[in-house]
Structure formats: C-alpha cells, structure tokens
C-alpha cells in the first residue's frame, strides 16, 4: 500500500458505504484512496509507492536536455519523469545522430562545438551554454 502525505484533510468512502476522514500527515492508504487523494482531489502527494521511487515531475523536456549538452539517448535524467512524448525523444535522438557528422559549428552538439572551439584556439568557459558557445564562432566560419 502506498504512503501519502496528506496536506489537507479529506473524506474517503473506504468500501463505498463507510466514510473515513483522513487527517493531514503521513497516511498508509489503499491504491484507490491514494489515487483519489493525489490525482483527483490534489490534497496529498506520494511519499513512497510500493518500493518504487517517486519520480520528480519538474525536470527538463528533451529539447531542454539536449540544449544543455546532454545526449538525447540518456533522456529523461535519473530520478525524473519524462516531460516529452516518445515521438519527441526519438526525433531528438535521430537529430543528434545526424549532428555527430555536422561540420557547421552553429549546428553542432555542445561537446562537438567545444572540440571545434578548442581546435580553433578559441577560449570559452567550460560551463557555458550552447548559445554562449555559438556566439564565439567567428562570422566567416
């Protein structure tokens, strides 16, 4: 049975006839009760779900993940649920596969762009994001 953190007391019909009031705090409840409290009423959140870790829902989209320089194939990040559809993830993976052979520095992935800048003896902050790195590319390249 899942453990939920009740933020606001709520009534729940345990067997369809008997109504029980769940108070604020940690509660060990049935799957149906947890679903009603978390998903339908929005008065609780999961703390533990039958040994399975609860995934965070505020992670990046696959586009944000790739923009930050990570491989699309490693999306979503560990501990986070996906905020992108499977189609978006597959498209990002295919796009990155094509980018591995890219010669235009403005279209390169972050790791490839960093290699390119290093080869051209152009200094950059290792923590720089893709737009900052792209701004360092000379206009004639």
Domain boundaries, the chain: 3-48, 56-101, 102-141
Q: Compute the average pLDDT of residues 18-47.
A: 89
Distance CA 109, CA 79 (A): 24
Q: Are 55 and 79 in contact (CB under 8 A)?
A: yes
What integer best gives the mean pLDDT of the chain?
86
Average pLDDT over residues 78-89: 89
Which pLDDT score, from 0 to 100, does residue 135 have?
A: 94
Between 134 and 2, the more confident residue is: 134
Q: Return d(Cα 127, Cα 68) in angstroms, integer.
A: 10
- Mean local confidence (pLDDT), 52-81: 85
- Contact predicate 65/51, CB 8 Å: no
What is the pLDDT confidence band of residue 53, given thresholds at 50, 70 and 90?
low
| Average of per-residue pLDDT across 39-63 | 80
pLDDT of residue 8: 92
d(CA 28, CA 26) in angstroms, rounded, equals 7
- What pLDDT was estimated at residue 99? 67
């Amino acid at each position: 049975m899942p453990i939920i953190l009740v933020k606001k007391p709520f009534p729940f019909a345990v067997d369809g006839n008997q109504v029980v009031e769940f108070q604020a705090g940690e509660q060990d409840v049935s799957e149906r009760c947890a679903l009603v409290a978390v998903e339908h009423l929005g008065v609780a959140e999961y703390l533990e779900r039958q040994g399975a870790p609860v995934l965070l829902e505020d992670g990046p989209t696959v586009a944000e993940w790739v923009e930050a320089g990570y491989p699309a194939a490693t999306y979503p990040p560990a501990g986070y649920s996906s905020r992108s559809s499977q189609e978006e993830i597959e498209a990002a993976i295919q796009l990155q596969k094509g980018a591995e052979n890219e010669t235009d520095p403005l279209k390169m992935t972050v790791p490839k762009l960093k290699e390119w800048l290093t080869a051209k003896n152009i200094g950059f902050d290792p923590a720089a994001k893709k737009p900052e790195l792209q701004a360092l590319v000379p206009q004639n390249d």
